[in-house]
């Protein structure tokens, strides 16, 4: 596969707009992004992604990009994301107009100057960055049959699938945001377990039903709903699972667990139905982060970014991002080119759509821990300093 070099001095656009820095002129501060017509979903998404903390000159400056139809788009994306990660003394915002033109040439449905889904944009450009920077794998590709055979011989079958996936998808981005689920189906007749392992880049949480559309919901309850055991039935309550041990259709349960933590966890709240109508429930995340359990570990995750959608449907409204900037030890609100220091993000009336967490630490899972309780909440006093 051919490569080209991403210059560490690659520029975005010379077109700029003044940014409200909420401070004295010439003071170093984060950079805003210019909106040139219904592009808030892109601006908020870029600020949100930049909070991963991986888009630096050290990681991507001078990197050889894979030859593809998305090569120039990847180059522009990385250049902007690197710039967003640097404090600036220049009171100007970035203009992503060149990037938008490149994206529109690739996908005119997603980039047509109408309001779009910020989450869809985020996942789209993450794919571009991964494809543009993934390293080639020279090892022979294992078939699904080979993986199944090897996993049956292992005491940690999930590691077989995990190591194979990571070897074949070796990029800085994938190594940062990829985790792995274990889905276990248990036959209620014989107790036989059937496990499958799948990589993930984000977790989508359904919002529980509430009596009032504006009733507060805890992020913990959303996680617990995601990890709770489910019964596998057809609509007529007939057995729907073909047990390989019983050789018949039986009642069964399914339970999803995390088998590998990502270093950066992207969480999306399912706010929109298939017709684009929005659930306006306020999801409470008034914590320093979350504690998740995998099959073998406890992971402590720190909240570093929130993407907010204001509006009643997917097709109208406005996107804003809140990002914790470590170098300033504070939260900033990014509303296109307007950048504002936020004293306390928890005092903001935020309708969170996407949340970004960084894995701070891991510890071995105590065998006496209650597996069903997959989420813990930490006090705001423990916020990163």
pLDDT (tens digit per residue) in 197-227: 999 999 999 987 766 666 778 888 899 999 9
Question: Do 282 and 299 meet the contact criterion of CB atoms below 8 Å apart?
Answer: no
At 100, is the secondary structure helix, strand, or coil?
helix
* Mean pLDDT score, 18-42: 72
Residue 125 lies in a domain: yes
pLDDT at 235: 59
- The average confidence (pLDDT) of the chain is 82
Q: Which of 17-21, 126-130, 196-200 has the lowest mean pLDDT?
A: 17-21
Residue 32's domain is classified under what CATH number? Answer: 3.90.70.10
Question: Do 260 and 179 meet the contact criterion of CB atoms below 8 Å apart?
Answer: yes
Report residue 268 as tokens.
Answer: 């999306």
Count of domains for the chain? 1
pLDDT at 348: 64
pLDDT at 185: 93
* Mean pLDDT score, 15-40: 66
- pLDDT exceeds 80 at position 140: no
Report how far residue 229's alpha carbon sits from residue 167's, in angstroms, rounded to the nearest whole number.
31
Question: Do 308 and 351 meet the contact criterion of CB atoms below 8 Å apart?
Answer: yes
- pLDDT exceeds 80 at position 374: no
Residue 146 lies in a domain: no
Residue 154 lies in a domain: no
pTM score, whole prediction: 0.85
Give the confidence band of 149 by pLDDT, cuts at 50, 70, 90: confident
Domain that holds residue 266: 3-135+171-382
In the DSSP assignment, the letter for residue 326 is: T
Residue 357 lies in a domain: yes
Report how far residue 196's alpha carbon sits from residue 165's, in angstroms, rounded to the nearest whole number.
14
Return the higher-pLDDT residue of 12 and 115. Answer: 115
* Mean pLDDT score, 6-14: 38
Which value, to the nearest 10 degrees, does the dihedral of the CA atoms of residues 204, 78, 30, 119 take? -20
Residue 332 lies in a domain: yes
Residue 152 lies in a domain: no
* Closest listed residue to residue 253, CA positions, set 198, 187, 200: 187
According to DSSP, the β-strands at 338-342 and 330-335 are antiparallel
State which H helix or E strand residue 323 sits in.
Answer: strand 316-325
Residue 142 lies in a domain: no
Residue 151 lies in a domain: no
């Amino acid at each position: 596969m051919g490569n080209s070099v991403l210059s560490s001095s690659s520029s975005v656009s010379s077109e700029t707009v003044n940014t409200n820095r909420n401070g004295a002129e010439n003071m170093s501060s984060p950079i805003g992004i210019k909106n040139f017509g219904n592009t808030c979903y892109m601006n908020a998404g870029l600020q949100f992604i930049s909070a991963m903390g991986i888009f630096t000159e050290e990681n991507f400056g001078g990197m050889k990009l894979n030859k593809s139809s998305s090569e120039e788009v990847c180059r522009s994306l990385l250049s902007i994301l690197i710039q967003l990660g640097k404090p600036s003394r220049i009171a100007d915002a970035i203009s992503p107009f060149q990037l938008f033109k490149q994206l529109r040439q690739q996908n005119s449905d997603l980039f047509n100057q109408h309001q779009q889904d910020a989450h869809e944009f985020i996942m789209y450009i993450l794919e571009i960055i991964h494809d543009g920077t993934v390293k080639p794998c020279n090892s022979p590709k294992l078939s699904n049959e080979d993986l199944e055979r090897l996993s049956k011989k292992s005491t940690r079958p999930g590691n077989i699938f995990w190591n194979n996936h990571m070897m074949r998808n070796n990029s800085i981005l994938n190594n940062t945001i990829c985790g792995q689920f274990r889905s276990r189906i248990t036959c209620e007749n014989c107790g036989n377990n059937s496990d499958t392992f799948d990589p993930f880049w984000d977790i989508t949480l359904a919002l529980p039903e509430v009596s009032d559309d504006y009733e507060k919901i805890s992020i913990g309850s959303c996680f617990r709903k995601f990890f709770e055991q489910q019964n596998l039935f057809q609509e007529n309550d007939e057995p729907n699972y073909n047990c390989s041990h019983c050789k018949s259709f039986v009642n069964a349960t399914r339970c999803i667990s995390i088998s590998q933590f990502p270093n950066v966890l992207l969480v999306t709240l399912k706010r929109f139905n298939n017709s684009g109508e929005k659930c306006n429930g306020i999801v409470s995340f008034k914590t320093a982060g979350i504690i998740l359990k995998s099959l073998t570990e406890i992971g402590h995750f720190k909240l570093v970014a929130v993407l907010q959608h204001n509006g009643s449907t997917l097709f109208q409204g406005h996107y804003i991002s809140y990002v914790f900037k470590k170098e300033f030890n504070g939260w900033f609100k990014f509303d296109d080119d307007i950048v504002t220091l936020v004293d306390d993000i928890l005092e903001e009336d935020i309708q969170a759509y996407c949340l970004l967490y960084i894995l701070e630490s891991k510890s071995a899972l105590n065998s006496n821990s209650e597996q069903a309780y997959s989420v813990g909440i930490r006090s705001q006093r423990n916020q990163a300093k």
